Structure 1
Amino acid sequence: MPSATLTPSVQGPMLSIGEVAARLGVSVHTLRYYERAGLLDVPRQESGVRRYSGREVELLRFLLALRATGMPIALIRRYIGLARLGEVSETERRALLVQHREDVLARMRALKTDLGAIERKIELYDQNHKEPR
């Protein structure tokens, strides 16, 4: 997980938006949307071309994980806003993530229950279609 600070790292090669999209398995459109939504502030060259550092890539990985687990953009925006405040917001960021974890775990429990119902139905179909001996 990325550190609290959102300061881009200057270590490693700077990547184009296309390279980052390919590396993360998302579209260029998604990366531009994240930037427009205020989730990411990507430095640009004088020509206006975005150049992503390793720091931005790792932050994006984390943001994509939050989205994949169902966190709304508004909450991600809140998390990013807090992170930009630095250490003073660590307690609140942690609380936000703890609550999200609880929400994810609750959805996982519900999915497990639903999956059990599906598996039972499949077993019934399998039992009804067994060839007699």
Structure 2
Amino acid sequence: MDGFLSIAQMAQHFGVSAHTLRYYERAGLLAPVHRDAGGRRQYAQRDVAWLAFLMRLRAMGVPIRDMRRYAQLRAAGNATLVERLDLLSEHRDAVAARLASLQDNLAALDNKLAWYRDAIAQSVSPPSTSPGADDEQRTLHARLEDPSTD
């Protein structure tokens, strides 16, 4: 990026509203943004990089209060490196736990989908002319309707 981005360009780049950017500035998440002679915000590359990090934190579910705390620590300089590490480590652990839970849920869903595919494959097999074929179809139908398999 050469030069500066306007608030409209910045909002479009990140898929947020100009209102959100102004809120982030008021909330202390963004340092006061440079302004041109007409008072219009001009976002520099460092602002873009910082907002990209904030948006990533937000996407991970980090609450605004923790984002604000992190921004305050960052603004305070290198004396806060350990505190920033601790804050981000806590959120990393929370993200890892949510990810593990999602993976478990995905595995359960995959198992259920496999069960349904098998049941459907069995139910659409050509009708058998063997004795008891109707009983077999009724049993399969009952299995498909059994709420304990959902």
User: Normalised by the shorter chain, which TM-score bucket?
Assistant: 0.7 to 0.9
Q: Which runs of 5+ in 1 are unaligned?
A: 1-10
Deviation digits for residues 31-89 of structure 1 (CA, Å, limit 9, x no counterpart) = 12211221002122232211100000000000000010111000000000001100111
Q: Distance in 2 between matches of 1:47 and 1:24?
A: 24
| 2:21 counterpart residue number | 31
Q: 91-100 or 18-27, which moves further after superposition? A: 18-27
Could you tell me how far apart the structure 2 residues matched to 1:84 and 1:129 are? Answer: 60
Q: Aligned AA for 1:107?
A: R
- CA separation in 1, counterparts of 2:97 and 2:75? 29
Q: Pick the structure with greater CA Rg.
A: 2
Whole-angstrom CA distance in 1 between matches of 2:76 and 2:18? 28
When the two structures are superposed, what TM-score results if normalisation uses the length of structure 1?
Answer: 0.85
Larger helix share, 1 or 2: 2
Pick aligned residue for 1:68 from 52, 59, 63 = 59
- Does residue 35 of structure 2 align to residue 44 of structure 1? yes
For 1:14, what is the secondary structure of its paired residue? coil
- Residue ranges of structure 2 left out of the alignment (5+ in a row): 127-150
Shift, 1:116, TM fit: 1.3
When the two structures are superposed, what TM-score results if normalisation uses the length of structure 2? 0.76
Relative contact order (alpha carbons < 8 A, sep ≥ 6): 1 or 2 greater?
A: 1
Question: RMSD of the alignment, in Å?
Answer: 1.5
